[in-house]
Chains A and B, each alone.
Chain A
């Protein structure tokens, strides 16, 4: 078990080292990055929007439910909702959702290319297959995920506002005062740092599992599952590490 873990870690770093070599043709890689930006970013917007709005709504209602105390002003619900969404829910939960959507897609795409010898075809042509297939995905992930998370934060806060106002639990004026009160811009920076780390984890771990698929259709499915599971685990571990390092 321990040997296998070390083997996987070693193989992952070897795989990563293979990515950062000079591209065969920069323009081809640039086009790939543009393609991946659409695939990773625009393709995920629907699920991100839906998840964010309902997440914001639930956080607001639950915060209001837990803060039933005459000593606590109602606008505190806005503060709690805003900080929860910025610090944790948007960067972490949304990236976990993306790990499921993007991670499985990357692993199954590269895995299928492996089992149908498309990666061998790249190698035969003299192309650095790991770089060609993975680097544009990592770059695209790092470029687009911060925007996705910013949109998620915005929609989450809107969702909380609508839910609080429509249910009559948190009046609009209180909520808006809450989301403006004691706002720390650094929280956004922290959220973006986490997003970049998680985007790198999702794209690289998923590509690694897809690239090392061995077998047929069954193994492609297994790689896809592993990609999601390991990406999610690493996201949670690094969430703790980053919070400890930066906020504690």
Chain B
């Protein structure tokens, strides 16, 4: 379980996170939802330590991550897999080399063992015959799948996905959502997904954290969300015509 405990983050004069507390549960897909610019990505980056929090703390299974220095964080970092918005694949490396990268850096596996692991991960994300291609030669959906394969290559305990569906068509988005759900179930990871895609919310929202103006405005399950009468949450979730119609029915 990941516990975010009263964190604050400001950039210059602008307060982006203002006393945010929430928990991300083990073995579940935890969604962070909210409008663009409300602090979702900052919350995720503060959680994984890409941004240092001004106040408060983040605990990974009881370990205070915020208080640790770079060296102390290393073991936890190796338990984290992260899928970035644009994939963040290394341009100069092939698909195979991208997935193999963490294995090269942190394991003492033989080349054959590493290749086996890479092929397993690529097959797991339904990506075959793409090993020798470069990121510039594959589609957006494939890039996301490679990024997921790289993120799971080290068997992470915690999986973070920053807007995994951005720029993808609805059908590919559902494929990615299903993949994240399957992996969470299969490996028992604590998965945190940052999204403003309502399809993702309905597809995989087990635990939901709604961020509004830098505050943790609402937290609950999908069922609780359906019953909620929180005006800002309703305004955000049912913003589109199709969602409004769904709500009526």
Measuring CB to CB, which residues of chain A are less than 8 angstroms from any residue of chain B? 24-25, 28, 112-113, 116-118, 120-121, 123-128
Contact = CB atoms under 8 A, between A and B. Distances in A.
B84 A125 contact: no
Given A28-B104, A118-B91, A128-B70, A123 B50 contact: yes
Contact of A120 (B50, B78, B105, B106): B50
Contact of B105 (A112, A118, A127): A127
Interface of B: 45, 48-50, 70, 73-75, 77-78, 80, 82, 84-86, 88-91, 101-102, 104-106, 160
B70 A124 contact: no
Given A28-B105, A117-B84, A126 B90 contact: no
B70 A120 contact: no
Contacts of A25: 104-106
Contacts of A128: 70
Nearest to A35: B92
A-B pairs, 4 with minimum CB distance: A126-B77, A117-B88, A121-B88, A126-B74
Given A28-B104, A117-B86, A124 B91 contact: no
A24 B105 CA distance: 7
A124 B104 CA distance: 15
B102 A120 contact: no
Contacts of A127: 105
Contacts of B91: 112-113, 116, 118
Contact of A126 (B78, B85, B88): B78
Given A116-B88, A124-B48, 8 more contacts: A25-B105, A25-B106, A117-B84, A118-B90, A120-B82, A121-B82, A124-B77, A126-B73
B86 A116 contact: yes
8 contacts: A118-B89, A120-B50, A120-B82, A121-B88, A123-B77, A124-B50, A125-B101, A125-B102
A124 B51 CA distance: 11
A69 to B, nearest CB: 57
Nearest to A25: B105
